[in-house]
Amino acid sequence: MASGAGRRGNKADKVLEYEAFVDKRLKPDLVRAIAERDKLMEQLKTYSDLATNIKMLEENKLARLRTMVNLGSEIYCQADVPDTSRIFVDIGLGFHAELSWKEALDFITTKTTILDRTHERDSNAQANQRGDETCRENQVSNQAGLRRHSRALEFGARVILGESSILIET
């Protein structure tokens, strides 16, 4: 009888250990990966918008431009661009390059290709992280002798091992 209680205690320790690993390691890694993906998608959108604006300038043959510029914190001012034939493009790491429209479009094409590859790689990494999290939750279930309580774990439930059965308390 004492050995049975010891095994249940050991299972409870394993369950808590796995829960801690999922909560302290896997979930923060997943949250960080999602934030990085969102940042990458914002960059892709910015380059796409820039390409659209350059094409609009080419189609309308605008040599001069008057626009509103966001100075930050949603404060705008009018800007007059006397020569639109060359533009400054953020090329990364805080550097900007003065490029012609064609050079800018070529750069944007290359940069978006790189960002798309990065997005694909990161998406695969996120899928692996989610798989690891699910695998750990299944291990917790198996250790505790439960069929399926991964949803309870996902919502922060605590598994309590009783004398004769397992109770999930939220």
Residues facing residue 78 across a β-bridge: 68
Which residue reads 């914002």 in tokens?
Answer: 42
C-alpha span between 100 and 91 (Å, rounded): 14
CB 170 within 8 A of CB 155: yes
pTM of the model: 0.60
Question: What pLDDT score was predicted for residue 144?
Answer: 58
Residue 124: pLDDT over 60? yes
Q: How confident is the model at residue 1 (pLDDT cuts 50, 70, 90)?
A: very low
